[in-house]
Homo-oligomer: A and B are copies of this chain.
């Protein structure tokens, strides 16, 4: 391909390319093609600017051919993507004593002096990098010119070529500066991103009639709703109207003087330009314009800056107006954006009294009284008092309190600690790793060292989207899950070709999931059902029972409660599949640890405290993650799974009465050998047979395996022989593949990511190389034995667009994620399907 010329006049047919001249140049060409009154403009290519930075002399020959000798010119940067930044615009290039005099003739000396002085300063300070204090004190152009000459030992250049060459060189070099480079790379720019420049004839905004500059857009930056918004400032240049307090409105209403009163035709034209741009450029743009004697010139148009909410609204509105297809609306939204719409957020411009920066562990923001125990949180909730639960770290016993709290703050842990995972599942904002706060659970105080001590009941605000913790209340924006958001999700459902289920442990979770229209529950962790105080007591009795029959008898009391859990879930899910994972955690998670709690448990069980303490100690494990849990419990203490299977089947019979039959899915956790599946299958089949018998009702069910040990993935072929489905639990699989405990990794994960040891926290972003290979092996081997096997991923990664792409290309049937990740997952899945067409 031939190299583009260094400089090109921006005409409808010029070879202007986004990747060679930048997006501003390209956009200007589009405006020109739309016949908008754009001033004469010239584009400098990336290569040309690169050459300038390397010291090459600019070839400015074209400028004198195109522009008049008396034209003032502006230079603006034009990078490939608007958010990669670039040096600020330089205006009025070409200004000199002769032109100043000429302006003085027509518009008066003051106007001319102000313009000239401003250009001299800008040129000296921003282009030549002289000190700004050179121009301290009372100033006129001639004093400024003298100072300049003293400093530079040459007179201020009077020719446009010299000025322009310096400006271009200065901008080219600024682009290569380290901080500019870092800033744009943070926005995703590649290391060799180029800068284009646009040179444009300026329209002098000092005419006798109405003259000045302004900016106009037609949707709200905050909401995306249609709303013409503009500001205009007489005799100004550039974007000054946006920042000056005395700028005027554009449309005429009761808010004060407006441009429409004086130049109605220009404003009418502006509005029609808005329509044209929206329709033809298929985007909401902000128009930068000037007036000279009410004559309109469009200098530039840029994509309207927008909040997450506005982004969705604009895309949906464009599609609903038929301007873009629905698919394009879906493709335009970064799935992560949807997170911000589902949670309360702190207004970006709200003042705040920062206390501490922790880890943004679960999105959303909340204000409330601080409390230091799960019980206190529940008490507040019962009285409808918003509260923030403060804990060193959370444990399963805290879950009901976490549910009751409006936000959670922990001293320990990271993105994948217990607090973080549960909070995201519950949709409760959470900040973890708040190590700069000193917590005393005993004194019930939260201390910001050297600043303040907060007591129980004091108000703070927690922003789980940013990790910030602030004193007192802070102004919020409410979530926006209706309207455009709902429409977008509906379109995503139409487009996607992959199932999205939710991880839901309780009826409440299931309701949230159904509100987002899921395809079922992919992971119902039944252990969370046992932390209710009554059930917890029964669980503890079961743990302390000596014999299998005693255990079974105790578990019989849990049976009706579990059955009721499942009936409620099945009914809520209205025939959508529900995948129930059998009991998974180690039993010691159900036992108290403090001395008082042990004493009261001993009293409840009518056992000596020392015996209770000994039993608790004997259940402790060195590495609970790798211990007596999951199917290992199911095999060694069969009564638990038997009770659960019975509860599931009895609920199936009950929930199927007079309705479409429920087909429950039962999932076995922590499998590492085929024989584990066989043993559990035999027992579950036997329970099913006896429930069928007792109830006189036939039903079917599907038994499957949660693949979360590397061995289960490797042995997926033989495991699949007995499994209707395999669901990959990437949380544990990641822990075991790396030999890395999620709960302990927080201590070094940031050092690891910062030093590039891991590209990213593998609990955040699935490791496609290692864990991914095990997944692919598992999928392939499982399917080789049972071609119709259902394959899926559950666990935290299930809501991550990149993981969803991985699962889809591996041919999985669905992914399952926290209810609050479902919209993100749906949009990600829709985008993948659209890309694949």
Residues of A within 8 A of B (CB): 621-628, 632, 635-636, 670, 672-673, 675-676, 679, 708-711, 714-715, 732, 735-741, 743-745, 747-748, 751-752, 755-758, 767, 769-771, 773-774
Contact = CB atoms under 8 A, between A and B. Distances in A.
A679 B628 contact: no
17 contacts: A623-B625, A627-B741, A628-B747, A628-B748, A632-B748, A635-B748, A636-B748, A672-B738, A673-B757, A673-B758, A675-B755, A675-B756, A675-B758, A708-B739, A710-B737, A711-B737, A714-B773
A99 to B, nearest CB: 60
A744 B739 CA distance: 16
A737 B628 CA distance: 15
A664 to B, nearest CB: 25
B622 A622 contact: no
A634 to B, nearest CB: 11
B752 A635 contact: yes
Given A732-B739, A737-B736, A711 B624 contact: no
Given A625-B626, A626-B740, 5 more contacts: A622-B625, A623-B623, A635-B748, A676-B757, A714-B773
- Among A675, A708, A744, A774, residue most surrounded by chain B Cβ atoms (within 10 Å): A744
A759 to B, nearest CB: 9
A814 to B, nearest CB: 24
Contacts of A710: 710, 736-737, 739, 770, 774
Given A741-B626, A752-B635, A757 B711 contact: no
A626 B625 CA distance: 9
Copy number of this protein in the oligomer?
2
B757 A626 contact: no
A820 B617 CA distance: 35
- Among A628, A632, A670, A735, residue most surrounded by chain B Cβ atoms (within 10 Å): A632
Interface of A is mostly: helix
Contacts of A748: 628, 632, 635-636
Contacts of A714: 737, 769-770, 773-774
Contact of A635 (B635, B636, B744, B755): B755
Nearest to A622: B743
A633 to B, nearest CB: 8
A344 to B, nearest CB: 32
B679 A711 contact: no
A621 B622 CA distance: 9
A679 B745 CA distance: 19
A672 B736 contact: no
Nearest to A625: B623
Contact of A755 (B679, B741, B757): B679
A129 to B, nearest CB: 39
Contacts of A769: 711, 714-715
